[in-house]
Amino acid sequence: MQQVANIRMLVKKYKAVSFAEITSLVEKLKARLQLLQSKIALRQADENRVRVRQMPAKMLLRSMEREEETQAPSEMPDVHRIREYWETIVGVKKPFNSKNVQLQAWEQSLSQIPEDSDLTGHLTKELWDRVVRKAKPWKAHGPDGLQGYWWKVFVSANMALHKLVLHHLTSGESLPQPWITEGRIVLIHKAGPKSKPENFRPIACLNTCYKLLTGYVTMYLNQHVTERKIMPKEQIALRGGVWGCAHALTLDQTLISDAQDQKQRPISVAWIDYAKAFDSVPHSYIKWLLSVIRIPDLLKKFLVSIMTNWRVRYEVRIKRGQTDRSNYLKIRSGVLQGDSFSPLLFCLAMAPISQALNNVSGAYVTASGSKKNLQLSLSHIFYMDDLKLYGNSRESLAKQIKCVTSISKDINMELNVKKCAVAHFSPNPLEKQVPVDPVTTVDKDINFPLLDAESVYKYLGIQQRLGVKEPEAWERVAERCSTVARKIWSSELTFRQKNKYSQCHSNGKYASVLKQGDTTDTELRKILKKQKSRYKANCVERFYLPAEQGDVA
C-alpha cells in the first residue's frame, strides 16, 4: 500500500505517467538524496573541525575515546541502581573502636600540643583572598550552577560570602542554607560492563561557595597541623612545594636499589590497597580526630554541622545533552572528594597508622651512607591511601601487615586483599620464589598474592615488580605514544590540527626526558672544554662519532 501511495505522489507531483518515467525519476531522486547526504556529512565534519580547533589535547582524546565507546554497543547504566549500591557504602553509619591501643597511643602523643585560642586572628581577609585567587575559574560547578569566575569578578558577593563564612566559623553556628553543602556526583565509566555500579568512578562536583569555605578552613588547618607536626613525615601527599608522587617514587627506588643493586641485602615489601578508602572513613572517627588535634571547639562544632548536612545526587550522562539524576543521598560515612578539605581529613585519618608502623621493629635501613651516619630508615610510605611497606625480613613484613590490619579494622577501613601484594628479594637465589606464609590476625589468616618474576603491580601510576623496571616503563610509554599518535593522525582533523595535537600530547611525553639529556650533554662538553680536551668551537657531532669517522678522541 505504501508503494502505491508513493507512485501516486510521484505521478501527481512530477507529472510522471509511464513506468519508464517513474523509474528514471526514482533514480534521479536517489542520486539527489545521496548528494544531499554527502553535503550534510561534509558540513558536519567542517563544524566538528571548527569545534575542536581550540580544544586542549586531553579533551580531544577524551572526546575521541567517548565516541568509540558510544559506537560500541553497551548497556546504559541505571542511576537509581547506582545510588542503591553507594547507599550501602556511604549512606550507613559506621562505628570505630576508640579503645584501640595504637589509637590511644597516638592520642597520648598529641595531648601536650597547644590549642589555638585566637581563631579570628588566623582567619584573616588576606587568607580569604589567597583562597579566592587559587580557585579555578572554570572548573565544573556544583548544583548551584555558579563557577569560580563569578565569585572572583563580583567583589560585593565575594565580600558578603566572606562575612557569612567568618561569622559561622567563629560562632560555631550551622549554615542557614543547607543547600550549600549539597553536591552532584558525576559517574565516569572505568572499565567493564556499564550495568555494574562498581565499574564507575564517582567524581564530586560541589558548590563553589562551599569549596571556598572549606578552602578557608583548610588553609588554617594546614598551618595548625604543620606548626604542631601532627602529620607524619611518611605521608608524602599534601606537602606544599613538593612533587609528592615523584618524591614517593624516588624514596621507593632508593630503598629497592640499595637492596638489589648495591649491597645485595634482603628486603620484603608489601603494597596495601584499601577498598573504597575515601568513602569508608567513619564520621565518628573524624569527630574524634578533630578533638585529638585540638582545634578550637567552635570550629569543630561548625565542621561537625557541615558533615551532618552532606548530601549528594548521582548523575549519569545518557546521551549528548541528556543526564539522568538520582534522588538525594545523605552521606553518613566517608569524605567528599571534590574540595581541598577532604584530602586533609583523610590524611589525618591515616596518621595513627603511620605512628603504629613506626613502633614496629624491622624497618629497612639502607647500607649506603653508614660511614657518614646518613642512612635512610623507612618502614612505609603513604601517598594519600596508597601504602607501601618495607621490612628487612619476611618476619618483619608480617608484623607490619598485622599492625596495619589491626588498626584498619578498628577504624572500619577494609583492606582489598585481592589488590594487595607482597614481594621479597634475597641475595640467595633459592629463597626468591618461596611462597609467602599467611599473616595470622585475630580474625583470620591474610594471604596476600606473591608477585613472581613476571607479575607487576601498579604503584602511583607506575607498573613495577620489586622496583621500577626502566626498560619496561619506556616500552609502555612508547606504546602509549604510538596509540595516541595513531588516534590523532587517523582522525578527520586538518593536517595543521593533527600536527598541533601530536606536538602537544604524543611528543610531549618525551620532551622533559630529552631536555634533561641535552642539559647533561652540555655539562659534559663544558667539563671537556675546561680540562682542555676540546675547543669550544669543535663540532658537537664529532663527540659521538666512531674513531674511524673522525671522533675527537
33-52 pLDDT tens trace: 999 999 999 888 888 777 76
Quickly state the pLDDT bin for 505 (edges 50, 70, 90). Answer: low
Apex 288 CA angle, 282 and 291, nearest 5: 150
Answer for the pair 184, 331: CB distance below 8 angstroms, yes or no: no
> Residue 9: its pLDDT value, please?
74
Tens digits of residue pLDDT in 349-378 = 999 999 999 999 889 988 877 766 778 889
Does a structural domain hold residue 340? no
Do 414 and 310 fall into the same domain? no
Does a structural domain hold residue 341? no
Answer for the pair 524, 518: CB distance below 8 angstroms, yes or no: no
Does a structural domain hold residue 247? yes
Does a structural domain hold residue 63? no
Does a structural domain hold residue 317? yes
Spacing of C-alpha 364 from chain mean position = 28
Better-scored residue on pLDDT, 453 or 483: 483
Do 463 and 484 fall into the same domain? no
Do 261 and 388 fall into the same domain? yes
* Residue 229, φ and ψ in degrees, nearest 5: 55, 45
Q: How many whole angstroms separate alpha carbon 357 and alpha carbon 312?
A: 36
Tens digits of residue pLDDT in 209-242 = 999 999 999 999 999 999 899 999 999 988 888 8
Do 291 and 222 fall into the same domain? yes
Do 45 and 153 fall into the same domain? no
List the grid coordinates of 537.
Answer: 668551537
Do 360 and 440 fall into the same domain? yes
> Residue 263: its pLDDT value, please?
66
**Residue 54 CB neighbour total at 10 angstroms:** 6
8-state DSSP, 429: G
Do 130 and 16 fall into the same domain? no
Share of the chain above pLDDT 70, in %: 80
Name the one residue in this structure whose C-alpha cell is 567542517. 46
Quickly state the pLDDT bin for 301 (edges 50, 70, 90). Answer: very high
> Residue 435: its pLDDT value, please?
45
**172 has pLDDT over 50:** yes
The residue type found at 339 is D
**Strands 311-319 vs 182-189: parallel, antiparallel or unpaired:** parallel
Do 173 and 304 fall into the same domain? yes
Does a structural domain hold residue 320? yes
> Residue 442: its pLDDT value, please?
40
* Total domains in the fold of the chain: 4
Average pLDDT of the residues in 149-173: 92
Tens digits of residue pLDDT in 507-553 = 665 666 666 667 767 777 777 677 666 666 667 666 666 766 665 55
Least confident of 153-157, 233-237, 344-348, 503-507: 503-507
Q: How many whole angstroms separate alpha carbon 277 and alpha carbon 237?
A: 15
Residues 6+ apart with CB under 8 A from 497: 49, 52, 53
**CA R_g for the chain:** 31
Of 468, 487, 519, the residue that ends a domain is 468
Q: How many whole angstroms separate alpha carbon 334 and alpha carbon 410?
A: 15
Average pLDDT of the residues in 55-61: 63
8-state DSSP, 335: -
pTM for the full predicted model: 0.75
H or E segment and range at residue 292: helix 283-292
Q: How many whole angstroms separate alpha carbon 136 and alpha carbon 280?
A: 28
Name the one residue in this structure whose C-alpha cell is 606536538. 503
Of 269, 301, 332, the residue that ends a domain is 332
Alpha-helical regions (H) of 15-147: 19-52, 57-71, 79-90, 101-109, 119-122, 125-134
Answer for the pair 308, 179: CB distance below 8 angstroms, yes or no: no
**Residue 487 CB neighbour total at 10 angstroms:** 17
Does a structural domain hold residue 541? yes
Distances (CA, A) of 297 to 164, 165, 168, 205: 19, 16, 13, 29
Q: How many whole angstroms separate alpha carbon 184 and alpha carbon 194?
A: 20
- Tell me which residue range forms the domain holding 222: 73-90+115-227+283-332
8-state DSSP, 191: S
Better-scored residue on pLDDT, 478 or 245: 245
> Residue 548: its pLDDT value, please?
66
For the chain, the distance separating the N- and C-terminal CA atoms, rounded to the nearest angstrom, is 92
Do 301 and 264 fall into the same domain? no
Better-scored residue on pLDDT, 281 or 546: 281
Apex 380 CA angle, 374 and 386, nearest 5: 135
Name the one residue in this structure whose C-alpha cell is 590476625. 441
Answer for the pair 405, 415: CB distance below 8 angstroms, yes or no: yes
Answer for the pair 399, 360: CB distance below 8 angstroms, yes or no: yes
Q: How many whole angstroms separate alpha carbon 26 and alpha carbon 28?
A: 5
Do 422 and 523 fall into the same domain? no
Average pLDDT of the residues in 104-129: 88
8-state DSSP, 139: S
Does a structural domain hold residue 66? no
Residues 6+ apart with CB under 8 A from 64: 487, 491
Do 140 and 10 fall into the same domain? no
List the grid coordinates of 354.
Answer: 603511620
- Mean pLDDT (the chain) is 81
**3-class secondary-structure state, position 362:** coil
**Strands 421-425 vs 380-383: parallel, antiparallel or unpaired:** unpaired
Name the one residue in this structure whose C-alpha cell is 641475595. 427
Average pLDDT of the residues in 258-267: 80
Tens digits of residue pLDDT in 313-344 = 998 877 666 788 889 999 999 998 888 899 99
Do 134 and 187 fall into the same domain? yes
Residues 6+ apart with CB under 8 A from 369: 375, 376
> Residue 441: its pLDDT value, please?
46
Tens digits of residue pLDDT in 439-480 = 544 444 567 888 766 677 778 777 776 655 666 666 777 777
**3-class secondary-structure state, position 168:** helix
Apex 459 CA angle, 456 and 464, nearest 5: 35
Better-scored residue on pLDDT, 199 or 220: 220
Q: What is the 3-state secondary structure (H, E, C) of 484-547?
A: HHHHHHCCCCCHHHHHHHHHHHHCHHHHHHHHHHHHHHHHHHHHHHHCCCCCCCCCCHHHHCCH
Of 299, 332, 365, the residue that ends a domain is 332
Name the one residue in this structure whose C-alpha cell is 668551537. 537
Average pLDDT of the residues in 6-26: 74
